[in-house]
Each structure stands twice: as structure tokens, then as C-alpha cells.
Amino acid sequence: MRPEVNNGSGSPIRADTANRPFLMAALFLLVLVLSLAAATQYFAHAFQYHAALGAHQNFLYAPWKILEWAKLWPDRYGNEFSMAGSVATMTAAIGLILLLALKRHLSGPATSYLHGSARWAGKKDIVAAGLLPPRRSLLEVLRGQNDASSRSTGVYVGAWVDRRGRQHYLRHSGPEHVLCYAPTRSGKGVGLIVPTLLSWGESAVITDLKGELWELTAGWRKQYAGNRVLRFEPASINGGAHWNPLDEIRLGSEFEVGDVQNLATLIVDPDGKGLESHWQKSAQALLVGLILHALYQARSSGGTTPSLSDIDFLLSDPNRDIAELWMEMFTLPPSSGSNCRIVNASGRDMMDRPTDEAGSVLSTAKSYLSLYRDPVVRGNISDSHFQIRSLMHHDDPVSLYIVTRPTDKARLRPLIRILLNMIVRLLADRIEFEGGRPRPVYKHRLLMMLDEFPSLGKLEILQESLAFLAGYGIKCYLICQDLSQLKSSRTGYGQDESITSNCHIQNAFPPNRVETAEHLSKLTGQTTIVREQVTKGDRHTSRTLQEVQRSLLTVDECLRMPGPVKGVKDGNDVIEKPGDMIIYVAGFPAIYGRQPLYFQDAIFQKRAEVPAPRTSDRL
């Protein structure tokens, strides 16, 4: 007796098993009809298709004719009827054997993938994953229907080459997030970022480290995509947009204290490591009261909203003793604001501290505000040319380019962190329902294209919010150099990060580090191969076949993936041919793809040639 074994493999989730009983019943009826047809045709052939047998079509009779003839001549032609019955029995036996074999195959008691069933995705898999449009039916072709409208807001995650050598762009238009691993100078800009920005028609926030993305994409986005384009470059005086973080505080609402506390925390925690010391916590408490005090005074006097430079000046005014400020805060009248008690408490705290401790708290707070003493930065944050809510609620889509030159990247990081933190917090604050389903309250979706995002430090709110940002119309495209940069305990999100688990798509260019290659190898999965062992003796040679497990893409194969071919033009490295890449969509086989290059596409190249605006828009 054959023992029962459980050696099925792979995921049965997408297996279409609901219609199998109906399929088997239909096939059984087909076998029955074929056996009757075989008996009928044999009987007719034995009598050379005599006219007494009735009408036929090209010597073909209805399958059930044998039953009519048996009823018509029950006592005659016994030998012929017996032979026809044998033919029917033999046909039915062959059909039933094939039917049982098919049933056995479909039930899958054993498979050829005992050690793993991983494989590379084919076109059907890629279509099912939502990266390629489904094939249109004849009716849709005749009606002129296409998928352009549903995929007009997608992001490019790579390209795929079919068996005929044709390249297909892989584009994802769903709400889920994308995480890309791309080492420096690997072609992520020309392959993924630029094509996406030259086709995404809705709002976007782009971290532009060199200003190249503005030059290549802002012109098309403004002139042809109908976007208002903003260039926020805090360390430049060349016509960029201004933005004052204090303008985002919802003064006079129930959110004002929370807004100020979040802003103060970001100021004293520029690296996202948390408030670890007593001095940081005390400086944060001081800044909460001081910012509220400055806002209340500006509102009372009818002046403009103070900036972070003004907050720093309050603590560094050479013409005023600091004790006067503490007393002013302590005696702020209740009529100034609904939360003036917080201001009073901050002033009292500083008055009650010993001189040395108060001096240390003061110096700590001032040290975190030193960036805003730069006159260029001070000018760019003195007022606001846009509000964060305008990114998704303005009549037109809005594209915000956050430009930081490499020489200013480190010192401007605290301000950029404040901006990104406020974008996430203020735009993911409200959702409405209609008919039992969420209803969009925004006018435009928002794409957050964050290149080198781990270099901004740990943005805890981004990590925590990824799980639900899609529900608010925000799609994140996060790009890092490698897995080690993302999981760094010192500058990244640590080993227990949740960024990877909340990104539906992960794509990667050829990695430089083993850790990233190991991660990609695990994502592709394990497969089963047949290994042949040859044993040679004096007279005989034996061959043994054995099924063994191996990674679909081993670590060393991942590290040896072909990268882009580069040449030299005008003294600079220029990509001439694309390299390979891996695209992984959760729940589907991994895709072995190719890097797309925008300048090899005539449409993208034409769009990139549209000149960028000389100055930023203002809202």
C-alpha cells in the first residue's frame, strides 16, 4: 500500500480550484460522447455507410445513432453491434485513464518542486502584478478603449525584455509604496526618477540633491502637466520659493500646542535619535513656550509671523538681558492666547533654574538654532510662498523641489527634516467615508520622491506612517544606496526597521554590498534543480539524478549582475547601455529586468529638453 506523503509545494492562493468539479464532470461527458461516436462510426463503416442508416454529413453521424440502430434492429447484426460495443468500451477506457491522470495531476499529490518553486516572472505574472497593462479584448479594441487613463499616474520601477527582445516599461499606478536599492552612479536618476517625473501628472515632493531634476523635469511639469512648480533651495538667493515652518502652526485651534511641540522636537533632535539628554528635553520645553510666546505677540500686534531666525534672536538679543525675556513670558496675560499658561510655565522654569543650569539650557537651545543665523537661510524662511496643504488641495497640482547642494547638505538637514515631517503630519490628518468606503478629501494625489532618504536621518514619522499614508493619497518612492544604509543603527532606521515591510515593491540595481545581495537573493526565493552525478568505474559508468535546492539568484550571481555600460563624454561618465535589475512585487515571482534610460526614449528626451523655469512659482 502506498503511504500518504505531504510533499506539495508553493502557494496555492492563486490556484483556480473552484471550477475543478465542473471541469471533471464536463470531461467525463466528453469521454462518454466520444465512446458513442466511435461505436457509431465503426458500425457505419462496417455497412459502408448504407442509406438505411440515415442521413450523414461527410460520412459523420450523430454520436447517439448507435443507440437508435440498436433499437431499430435488436435481433439482427449481433456480431457488428458486439464489435461496436468493444470499440466504445476501448475508447471509454482510454478516455477514463487520461481523465484519471489529469485529475491526479491537478490534485498535485507530488510535484517537481519539493525543495522550492521559485521562478522568474513571465508576462502573465507581470500583468497580474499590475506592472504591465492587460491584453485588450477584441471588443475593447473596436471601441477604442485603452488603459492609458488608469496608468497615466504610474511610477516607473524598471523595464522587462520579452522573448522576442522587445523592451516593456514596468509602471505601477497603485497606492502602494516603492523602495529602491541603487548605489551611487548606478543610473537611478536617468532610469527611474526622471522617467517618473516626466510622466507623473499629479502633485510631487522631490528631494533634488544637485538641482538636476529641476533642470530636466520642471519645464515639462509646468508647461505640459499643468503643475505649479516650486523650488525650495534654502541656501540660494536665485529666485527660489520661501517657506516659514511657523506659518504651518494652526494657531488658535486645538492643534496649536501639538504643532509647536512637534516643531520644537524636530529642532532639538536634528538626527532623529530621540531626546536622549536632560539638556535636549529642557531645551525642547523652553522652545515650546518661546515659540508660542512669539506667535501670540505677533498676533496681538498685527505683525507678520515670526521665523526661526526671530526665535533665535529672542535668545541672542545683545541689547536685552535674558532675564527680561523670562519675566515677559512669565507675566504674559491670559488674553494673549488660549495656551498662555504654557508660556508662563516656560518662563517660570527658566527663572527657577540655577544660573549654571539655566545657562546650559539656553546654550543648548541656541546651538540648535544656529543654522538660521545664515542671512541667506534667514531670507528663505522669513515668509512663505506656499502652504503644505496646497500640495494636495490647490486647484492645480503642485511640484515641490527641495534642492540642497552637496556642500550644504549636512548643515541644511535639520530644516529639510522639519519640512518633510510636516508634509507627512499635516497631509495625513483627515479621511472621510461614504457608502462604507473611504472617500478622497484631496484634489490631487501626492508622490514623495525621496532620493537618498536615509541621509536625512531617522524620520520616525515616515516609518510609522508608511502603513497608512496610501489611504490619504500619498505614495512614497524611497531610494537608498543599499540595505546597510537603511538598517544602520547610527544613521538609519536600525535592524528592526519597518520600511521594507511597508513597501509593496522593491527594486534594485546591481548591488555593491553583500548584505544587499543576500537580501535580494532571499526575495527571489529557492528553486529545485536536478543534479546529475556521474560515477566512473573500470568497466561501467553510472549516472544518478537527484533533485536539490538552490537559490533562484545566488548572492554571487546578484553581485555579478551586469551594470550599465559607461563611456566618457565631455570629461564625464555617461551611461551608454543599460544594466540589469531586479524587481520584486509582494506576492508574485521576482522579475529579472533591465534599467530603462530616459534619453533612449524619444518622448522622454523631448520632454526633458523643455527648459526649466528661471524662477519658482508662488501660490
Residue 50: count of CB within 10 angstroms of its CB: 9
Q: What is the DSSP string of 130-161?
A: TSSPPPPPHHHHHHT--STTTTTT-EEEEEEE
Contact 167, 159 (CB under 8 A): yes
Asked if residue 468 is part of any domain, the answer here is yes
The answer for residues whose C-beta is within 8 angstroms of residue 228's C-beta and 6 or more apart is: 222, 394, 396, 397, 398, 399, 617, 619
Concatenating the DSSP letter of every residue in 240-262 gives PPP--GGGGS-TTSTTHHHHHHH
Give dist(CA 11, CA 9) in Å, integer. 7
In a domain, 363, yes or no: yes
Q: Is 218 helix (H, G, I), strand (E, B) or coil?
A: helix
In a domain, 3, yes or no: no
In a domain, 94, yes or no: yes
Q: Is 9 part of a structural domain of the chain?
A: no
The residue type found at 202 is: E
Instruction: Kindly state whether residues 197 and 54 are assigned to the same domain.
Output: no
Note the pLDDT of residue 140.
54
Cell numbers of 224, please? 505640459
Q: Does any domain span residue 420?
A: no
CA distances (Å), origin 600, targets 180, 265, 576, 606: 22, 46, 9, 11
Tell me the mean pLDDT per 10 residues along the chain, length 619: 41 50 82 86 81 80 82 79 86 88 67 76 93 73 52 83 92 95 90 95 93 95 95 90 95 92 92 86 95 93 92 92 93 88 93 92 94 94 95 96 92 94 90 78 94 89 90 94 90 89 95 93 87 77 80 91 83 82 94 93 95 93
**Measuring CA to CA, which residue among 350, 373, 364, 368 is closest to residue 413?**
368
Residue 495 shares a structural domain with residue 596: yes
* CA distances in angstroms from 480 to 265, 422, 459, 512, 589, listed in the order given: 25, 22, 14, 13, 23
- Quote the pTM value: 0.82
- The grid coordinates of residue 302 equal 498685527
> What is the CA angle 544-549-551, rounded to 5?
135
Give a yes or no: residue 529 inside a domain.
Answer: no
Looking at the fold, whether 480 and 599 belong to one and the same domain comes out as yes
Q: By the 8 A CB rule, do 597 and 578 touch? A: yes
For residue 78, the surrounding DSSP H or E stretch is helix 78-107
Same domain (yes/no): 476, 598: yes
List beta partners, residue 208.
403
Are residues 320 and 278 located together in one domain of the fold? Answer: yes
Ordered alpha helix ranges (H), 47-77: 65-72
For residue 76, give its domain range. Answer: 20-107
Angle (deg, nearest 10), helices 278-301 and 355-368: 70
Same-domain status, 255 and 344: yes
Confidence (pLDDT) at 111: 54
pLDDT at 65: 83
Residues 83 and 29 occupy one common structural domain: yes
pLDDT of residue 21: 74
- Indicate the residue type of 535: T
Instruction: Mark whether 429 and 568 lie in a shared domain.
Output: yes
Residue 282: name the closest of 381, 356, 378, 370 by CA: 356
450 and 567 together in one domain? yes
| 220 and 278 both lie in a single domain | no
For residue 15, being part of any structural domain is answered with no
In single-letter form, the type of residue at position 370 comes to S
- Residue 143 has what pLDDT? 58
Asked if 362 and 468 sit in the same domain, the reply is: no
Q: Quick one: 362 and 261 in the same domain? A: yes
Q: Is 400 helix (H, G, I), strand (E, B) or coil?
A: strand
Q: In what order do the strands lie in the sheet with 474-480?
A: 167-172, 155-161, 591-594, 580-585, 505-508, 178-181, 474-480, 446-451, 203-208, 398-403, 228-232
The CA-atom distances, in angstroms, between 41 and each of 72, 88, 96 are: 17, 10, 20
pLDDT at 245: 96
Integer Cα distance of 71 and 73 in angstroms: 6
For 358, the grid coordinates are 539655566
Cα gap 282→365, rounded to integer Å: 9
Q: What is the pLDDT of residue 440?
A: 79
Contact yes or no for 260/291 (Cβ under 8 A): yes
Number of domains in the chain: 3
Residue 191: the pLDDT is 92
**Residue 325: its pLDDT value, please?**
93
